[in-house]
């Protein structure tokens, strides 16, 4: 399977614990995105990487959240001191290099990591 993969698929943790999720994008894609989705809602943008550079972060991404993409390939999203409000599906997506100036950015999504904070 050459699609976007995410690990783990499910994570249950206790409030206050740290969790880390991993995303492996499609290999030739240089753009990587993290979204969060709560039940009954559409995905909400969290952050975006182009290669290893984190170019945009949402205000939703509090100080407890950090994302990295050290070698411009896989990415990790860490949540420190988890809270019950962090319970959600965390989606990763990737897209290929675009034509300069183009935002025709079809994004390919992974299956998501469902986080439950008890």
Partner 1 sequence: SQQGEEDPQALSIQEGENATMNCSYKTSINNLQWYRQNSGRGLVHLILIRSNEREKHSGRLRVTLDTSKKSSSLLITASRAADTASYFCARPLTQGAQKLVFGQGTRLTINP
Footprint of partner 1 (CB under 8 A): 4, 31, 33, 40-45, 48, 50, 55-56, 58, 89, 91, 93, 95, 101, 103-112, 114
Q: Which is nearer to partner 1, 50 or 80 (CB)?
A: 50
Q: Which is nearer to partner 1, 81 or 108 (CB)?
A: 108
Find, among 9, 7, 6, 11, the residue nearest to 116 by Cα: 11
Least separation in angstroms between residue 86's CB and partner 1 is 18
State in angstroms the smallest separation of the CB of 35 from partner 1. Answer: 8
**Residue spans of beta strands (DSSP E) within the chain:** 5-7, 10-13, 19-24, 31-37, 44-50, 53-57, 65-68, 75-79, 88-95, 108-109, 113-117
């Amino acid at each position: 399977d050459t699609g976007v993969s995410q690990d783990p698929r499910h994570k249950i943790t206790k409030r206050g614990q740290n969790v880390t999720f991993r995303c492996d994008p499609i290999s030739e894609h240089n753009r990587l995105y993290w979204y969060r989705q709560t039940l009954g809602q559409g995905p909400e943008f969290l952050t975006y990487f182009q290669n290893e550079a984190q170019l945009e972060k949402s205000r939703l991404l509090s100080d407890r959240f950090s994302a990295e993409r050290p070698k411009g390939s896989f990415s990790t999203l860490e949540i420190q001191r988890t809270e019950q409000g962090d319970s959600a599906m965390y989606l990763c997506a990737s897209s290929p290099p675009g034509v300069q100036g183009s935002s025709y950015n079809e994004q390919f999504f992974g299956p998501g990591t469902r986080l439950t904070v008890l």
